[in-house]
Amino acid sequence: MFHHISTQAVHAGEEKRQPFGALTTPIYQTSTYTFEDTADVLTLMECKAERRAMREAGGDLPLRNEYGRYSNPTVAAVEGKLAILEGGERAVLFASGMNAITTTLLALLSGGDHVIVVSDCYRRTREFTVAFLPRWGVATTLVPVDDLAALTAAVRSNTRLIFAETPTNPYLRLADLAQIAAMARPRGIITAVDSTFATPINMQPLALGIDLVIHSATKYLAGHNDVLAGVVIGAHRLLTKIEETRGLLGGVSSPHDAYLLLRGLKTLELRVRRQNENGMRVAQFLERHPAVARVYYPGLPSHPDYATAQRQMTGFGGVVSFEVAGDRETTSRFIDRLQLPYLGPTLGGVESVVQQQALFVSLDPAERAASGIKDTLVRYALGIEDADDIIADLAQALE
């Protein structure tokens, strides 16, 4: 009914009439749902059998709630809203973004399978695929994010999944999602994209042919640095396996966290639009400043993936990464002179947050170098403050 994403962010997935006439979706703070009698229990079990048959055919059948590890009305409202925002058939909510990633991989991969992962991705994602999955007989190949030829060459007969991150953390590199989907689909390979940095406002991976979209909902979707959550969005046939694995492993979101996420989503379009504006202005300022060696922002023509960003994104986000001219100590002094942002390892909230990312990786110079993150790299996650104030603060700190 509603075609504009800003309207969907406010209304989609929620019932118009709530219990007692409440305007907001309640927090259903319960672990267990009770039954009227034995016949009520038998009805649920019959519906479960019917639902399995429908899901195998690519459909779905809503069930009444049974136990908190399987479903919750507050969680269901969030899942419905996120599915509509990304243009997917279903969404499954998790306790964190990493939980969404790890559960998805465990649900869709088996011993003897092979997965391809872009090398320039979140280090914990890379660690899970490279160091953990081999313990279960799953092989991983890392490929550059922008090299379709290398990606195609890495495909094996047992390749089951391609996992990309776009834009990547922290260098904001972009994979051409339409090209990846066009290569993978005829081969029967599932494609999944971590789209946390883009949000549904700036990019729609499912519309580009990708099978699964994953978000750390902790970041932009919730938007207020007070929630841990993750989500996977896609078609019924894949989300069924993922949801069943979530019920088995237990990585569910709490009703209270789901409520906070639902509240945050209502202002998603407003916040991201402001963060896009701040990102572009700050990136342009930094690129002109003599104390900055290099700026990474996909909205700048100097970015290596600028052409790809123009094709598949409608906005370029609120994260700007840049290298300070000098060494590690110079960069640390710059960080400590900043007055406006908080110092910490997150992004996507209303408050600006900055970090010298290499120091969050390791104190060992060799380990930092192996991570590919330079000591002089700064990741500035812009909030919704006024861009003039942010730039003035950057200017004084760069002196």
First to last CA, the chain: 53
Residue 96 near residue 229, CB atoms below 8 Å: yes
Residue 92 near residue 239, CB atoms below 8 Å: yes
CA distances (Å), origin 223, targets 82, 154, 178, 270, 299: 14, 37, 28, 11, 22
Q: Which of 69, 266, 273, 328 is catalytic?
A: 69
Structure tokens at 170: 């922290």
**β-pairing, 292-296 with 319-324?**
antiparallel
Q: Which of 113, 120, 176, 194 is catalytic?
A: 194
* Annotation marks residue 194 as catalytic: yes
* Annotation marks residue 296 as catalytic: no
**β-pairing, 212-216 with 230-234?**
antiparallel
Q: If you ran DSSP here, which 8-state letter would residue 342 be given?
A: E
Q: Which of 81, 90, 120, 122 is catalytic?
A: 122
Could you give the CA distance from residue 196 to residue 114 in angstroms, rounded to a whole number?
24
Q: Which residues of 26-46 are buried (b: 16+ CB within 10 A; e: fewer)?
A: ebbeeeebeeeeeeeeeeeee
Burial of 19 (0-12, 13-18, 19+ CB in 10 A): exposed
Give the contacts of 161 (CB within 8 A, at least 6 positions apart). 105, 108, 109, 113, 115, 116, 189, 190, 191, 192
Residue 100 near residue 74, CB atoms below 8 Å: no
Side-chain-side CA neighbours of 40 within 13 Å: the count stands at 8
* Annotation marks residue 122 as catalytic: yes
Residues annotated as catalytic are 69, 122, 194, 219
